[in-house]
C-alpha cells in the first residue's frame, strides 16, 4: 500500500510540474516584448509599438524584429534598425546593436541601456563617447515609430548620419 501511495505522489507531482511548465511556455510565447521588458525591470517604451516579433535565447540574447527601420523621438530623435539585438538581463540591455540616438547633429550608436535603481527615476544610456541619464518617465509607453525617409527640415536619414538633400 505504501508503494502505491508513493507512485501516486510521484505521478501527481510529475503531472503538476508538466502542467506548470506548459503554462509557463504558453504565457512566455504570448507575452509581448513590452511585457518582457517590464518583467526585466526596464520600461516598456524602450521599444516602439511596431514590433513584428522577438526571440530571447537561454543565454539572454534578445533579437527584436521591427516592421522596418524607423524613427521616433524621446528627448532626441532615435533610429531603430529593422533588427535590434542586445543581451538582456535584469535592469539592462548591453551590447545593443541596431539603435542610434541623435546628439548634436550626429547619430551615435546606443551601446547599452541600464536602470540601476528604478526609485531614482533615471535610465542610463551608453552612447560610446558618453553616458546620458534620462527620466524613466520618457519611456513609460511604447512610442509610434515612423518609417525612415524624408524627415522634418528636409533632412534625410542615411547610414547613421544626417545628410542634406
Kindly state the DSSP code that residue 41 receives in the 8-state scheme: T
Across residues 118-144, what is the average pLDDT? 92
- In this predicted structure, the answer to whether residue 15 has a pLDDT above a threshold of 50 is no
**Three cell numbers written together for 12:** 501527481
**Percentage with pLDDT > 90 across the chain:** 64
- List, for residues 65-83, the tens digit of each pLDDT value: 999 999 999 999 999 999 9
- List, for residues 54-65, the tens digit of each pLDDT value: 999 999 999 999
Instruction: Identify the pLDDT of residue 97.
Output: 97
Instruction: Identify the pLDDT of residue 119.
Output: 87
Across residues 14-35, what is the average pLDDT? 54
List the domains of the chain with CATH numbers: 33-150 (2.30.240.10)
Kindly state the DSSP code that residue 153 receives in the 8-state scheme: G
The percent helix, strand, coil of the chain (3-state, each to 5) is 30, 40, 30
Q: The whole model's pTM is what? A: 0.71
Query: Quick one: CA dihedral 25, 55, 43, 66, positive or negative?
Result: negative
Across residues 133-140, what is the average pLDDT? 93
Amino acid at each position: 500500500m505504501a508503494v502505491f501511495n508513493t507512485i501516486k505522489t510521484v505521478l501527481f507531482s510529475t503531472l503538476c510540474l508538466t502542467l506548470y511548465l506548459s503554462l509557463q511556455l504558453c504565457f512566455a510565447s504570448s507575452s509581448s516584448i513590452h511585457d518582457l521588458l517590464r518583467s526585466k525591470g526596464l520600461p516598456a517604451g524602450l521599444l516602439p509599438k511596431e514590433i513584428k516579433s522577438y526571440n530571447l535565447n537561454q543565454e539572454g540574447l534578445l533579437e527584436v524584429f521591427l516592421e522596418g527601420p524607423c524613427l521616433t523621438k524621446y528627448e532626441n530623435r532615435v533610429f531603430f534598425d529593422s533588427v535590434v539585438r542586445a543581451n538582456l538581463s535584469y535592469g539592462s540591455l548591453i551590447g545593443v546593436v541596431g539603435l542610434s540616438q541623435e546628439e548634436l547633429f550626429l547619430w551615435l550608436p546606443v551601446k547599452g541601456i541600464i536602470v540601476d535603481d528604478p526609485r531614482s527615476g533615471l535610465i542610463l544610456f551608453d552612447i560610446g563617447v558618453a553616458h546620458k541619464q534620462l527620466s524613466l518617465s520618457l519611456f513609460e509607453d511604447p512610442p509610434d515609430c515612423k518609417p525612415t525617409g524624408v524627415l522634418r527640415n528636409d533632412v534625410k536619414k542615411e547610414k547613421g548620419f544626417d545628410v542634406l538633400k
